[in-house]
Amino acid sequence: MELRTAYIGMGSNVGDRDQYLKKALEKIEQTNGIMVRSCSSIYETVPYGPVKQNDFLNMVANVQTVMSPDELLQTLQAIERSLDRKREIHWGPRTIDLDILLYDHENIVMEHLKIPHPEISKRLFVVKPLKEIYPELIMPDTSQSLKTIYERLKDEEGVRLWKENNGEGEFGLFEN
């Protein structure tokens, strides 16, 4: 089985937001066939979309996996459910949201999964942490550099550093 690289966007805006991020990372790391390689800092973000709700904590994790994109999606959705994720309101509040942003440099289009995630280039709360851990990225679907996308979005309001990844503690973010 070949090791593949994926980037997972993570967000939470319900309850103890940083603990949901931590628990999700722990569950990802404890899953056979997935290893967390690195994590971005955590950013606090105003909600995206029309639903009035609390601010999010967002980050990106780089993982290596032997899973196919579909298997990885199913695994991430199972982790969301185990952390009480409810899918009641589109773009609504959630304990945890786990999105596959990238899977190697592949363009994947399935009925239930598109990789790269189709909203990356519109969302500073994804671009900023992704740029932190993968600054040289060239988007597989558009051949546009992440730096170019960041320059277009960087002046948008509402994405601020919440906790810097200093390399200490669990995942560089949480006390051991």
Active site residue 97: yes
Number of domains in the chain: 1
Query: Does 175 reside within a domain?
Result: no
Its domain, for residue 52, covers 4-162
Active site residue 85: yes
User: Which pTM value belongs to this model?
Assistant: 0.92
Give the position of tokens 């199913």: 74
> CA–CA separation, 41 vs 143, rounded Å?
26
Query: Does 168 reside within a domain?
Result: no
Find the catalytic residue in 4, 18, 99, 152: 99
CATH of the domain at 89: 3.30.70.560
Query: Does 23 reside within a domain?
Result: yes
Find the catalytic residue in 94, 152, 155, 160: 94
The Cα-based distances of 76 to 8, 73, 82 in angstroms read: 9, 5, 10
Query: Does 147 reside within a domain?
Result: yes
Find the catalytic residue in 85, 104, 141, 155: 85
* pLDDT > 60? residue 176: no
Tens digits of per-residue pLDDT, 44-78?
Answer: 999 877 778 899 999 999 999 999 999 999 999 99
Query: Does 172 reside within a domain?
Result: no
Active site residue 99: yes
